[in-house]
Amino acid sequence: MDVQLTAAHWVYLAGILVILATMALRKNIVVPAVVATFLTALTFSGSIVTGLSAIFNASLVAAKELFNIFLIIAMVTAMLGALRQLGADRMMVAPFRRVMRAGTSSFLVLAAVTYVISLFFWPTPAVPLVGAVLIPVAIRAGMSPLSVGMVIAICGQGMALSSDYIIKVAPGISAAAAGVDADSVADKALVLSLIVGVTALLITYFVQKRHWRAPSADLLVEWEAEADSGIGDTRGSDDSSGGAGGSRPPRRPEPAGGPSSGGEQAAAATAVLVAPSDPVADPAEAEKERRGTAKAFAMLVPLAYLAFIVYLMLGKFTEVVPPLQGGEAAAIVGGIAALILFAAAASTDRGSFLETTSDHLVDGLVFAFKAMGCVLPIAGFFFIGNPEFAGPILGLSADAAGPAILFDLVTSVQAHLPQNAFVTSFGILLIGVVAGLDGSGFSGLPLTGALSGALGPAVDVDPSTLAAIGQMGNIWSGGGVIIAWSSLVAVAGFARVPVLDLARKCFLPVMAGLVLSTVFAVLVF
């Protein structure tokens, strides 16, 4: 395919290279992304007005696409905050300590559970489920938050999604574009995904193990405190009065119910509002009631999400209930979290639970935007290369087709690939990785599939093999493992680590796995 590259294409490519170089230098890439967005829009349109408005429009379009992730992070974080105030969070993770007693066992359990759930239901519902139930246990067992995030990303967004062996959306797209059988692509993609995933997990284990600590409940308290201080908030780390909360008073970091937590105010209120014969006035009775309520919620939360998993399985394998479509699974996870939040807040503070619930929700949203807000302008730059989003960013009319700047650049590489099996295979892999830079995961599959169908016979390689290789590059890049402006923001949010740091740490293990899997594919398939 003959693609005519314009000045806008070269400006966009220069922006990508600058961003990658800035990431390699371990610097923040927001400013380069915003400048690159402005210059690309200016060059494409020739209008400084369009260039300036594109800066805002790019972040707005990215916010529309990613806000569901932000919202579910906020909901689950708010729910965990209410459970923490009640004291149910520690009780909830207690049963898992029997299996996840140390870093290694936690690593294996976390990897297995994330992979299985993501393989059957995609990572969208898997990440919130694991984040709500298993991440706190892994943290308490001594794993570092960064290694927890790496395991979930590699097993969920990477190993499970890149094969998509059960749902088979990705193999279907790749196979249709390549003109081959979908099952052939799926079988090869499954093997390649396991090679990439196991390689990345082994590297992660041996590199991150030295950062693990001895199991302790203090590790969980330290990790939970990140939600109040905000990830990467170094300037305000000593200000315990609530980050962006302004005039809102600080909430107690420990569960209510102890005699030292607001005891004087509680006594004064009791003297006015509670009759002396009220049993709640007895501190011992109140503590007993609180512990009973906390225990009830510690059982309710895992059971609620277990029931949700059962519902997903019934919808997937039977006709008892209708299967969930699109983002319905993630929406249900968020809805369950919201209802548990309301119930936990009401159980903790019956008199003012409406205000307490609002505080938890605000804290969840503040945490989500503190941790992930910088992703929006970065994603906006890469979205301008996608024809689906370029139109609104550049201010084009609704019926006008947006420029496919990123895909044009990738397609233009096709003519320069030498006629060699290894070179072609690694070229398809590289094209897949670059096509995934828009953070969507599946958008580049038609391109790599079409190239595989065209180039496979010329280099005597099965097109289904090349399609599976391209699928690995697309999804391990854009699916949410090595690209920060993707669904990786959800993993980083639940693990409470900076998303750019998580992407950097995943990069080398994943690339090593991709190289190894590509060599294997050429030699064996």
What string of DSSP letters covers 127-171? HHHHHHHTHHHHHHTT--HHHHHHHHIIIIIIIIHHH-TTT-HHH
What pLDDT, on a 0 to 100 scale, did the predictor assign at position 4? 82
**Mean pLDDT across the stretch 376-384?**
85
Region for 487 from its dihedrals, namely left if φ exceeds 0, alpha if ψ lies in -120 to 50, beta otherwise: alpha
Res 456 pLDDT > 50: yes
Averaged confidence pLDDT in the chain = 81
Highest mean pLDDT among 110-114, 205-209, 249-253: 205-209
Q: At 413, phi and psi to the nearest 5? A: -75, -25
**Within 46-102, where are the H helices?**
48-86, 88-93
First-to-last C-alpha distance (Å) of the chain: 27
pLDDT of residue 173: 82
**Region of residue 141 (phi > 0: left; psi between -120 and 50: alpha; otherwise: beta):** alpha
Q: Is the pLDDT of residue 414 over 80?
A: no
Residues 82-96: pLDDT tens digits? Answer: 888 887 877 776 677
Task: Name the most confidently modeled range: 299-313, 371-385, 488-502.
Answer: 488-502
Residue 271 has pLDDT above 80, yes or no: no
Q: Is the pLDDT of residue 120 over 80?
A: no
Q: pLDDT digit string (tens) for 17-52? A: 898 788 777 677 889 989 999 999 999 999 999 999
Q: Choose among 111, 135, 143, 283: nearest CA to 212.
A: 143
Percentage with pLDDT > 90 across the chain = 28
Express each pLDDT in 176-233 by its tens digit: 878 888 888 988 999 999 999 999 999 999 999 999 998 888 888 888 776 555 544 4
Which of 167-181, 276-290, 306-320 shows the lowest per-residue confidence on average (mean pLDDT)?
276-290
User: In this prediction, what percent of the chain has a pLDDT beyond 70?
Assistant: 85
Residues counted in the chain? 525
> Has residue 371 got a pLDDT over 70?
no
333's tokens:
């996870």
Half-sphere exposure of 374 (CA within 13 A, CB side): 19
**Cα distance between residue 86 and residue 253, in whole Å:** 11
Rounded to an integer, the average pLDDT of 130-140 is 85
* R_g (Cα) of the chain, nearest Å: 25
pLDDT of residue 268 exceeding 50, the answer is no
pTM of the model: 0.66
Predicted pLDDT at 406? 79
Residue 209 one-letter amino acid? K
Q: Which residues of 201-218 are buried (b: 16+ CB within 10 A; e: fewer)?
A: bebbbeebeeebeebeee
Helix (H, G, I), strand (E, B) or coil at 279: helix
Task: Quickly count: other Cβ atoms within 10 Å of residue 21's Cβ.
Answer: 12
| CA 36 to chain CA centroid, nearest Å | 25
Determine the average pLDDT of the residues in 408-431. 81
Tell how far CA 90 is from the center of its chain: 24
In contact, 521 and 415? CB cutoff 8 Å = no
Burial 425-451 (b: 16+ CB within 10 A, else e): bbbbbbbbbbbbbbbbbbbbbbbbbbb
Cβ atoms within 10 Å of 84's Cβ, excluding its own: 23
Q: Hey, which of 168-172, 327-331, 465-469, 490-494 has the most confident mean pLDDT? A: 465-469
Average pLDDT over residues 346-364: 86
What is the H or E stretch that residue 477 is in? Answer: helix 463-478
| Residue 494 · residue 73 · CB < 8 Å | yes
pLDDT tier at 464, thresholds 50, 70, 90:
very high
Dist CA 484 CA 33 (whole Å): 13
On the question of pLDDT at 349 being above 60, the answer is: yes
Most confident of 70-74, 139-143, 449-453: 139-143
pLDDT of residue 27: 79
CA distance 168 to 188: 12
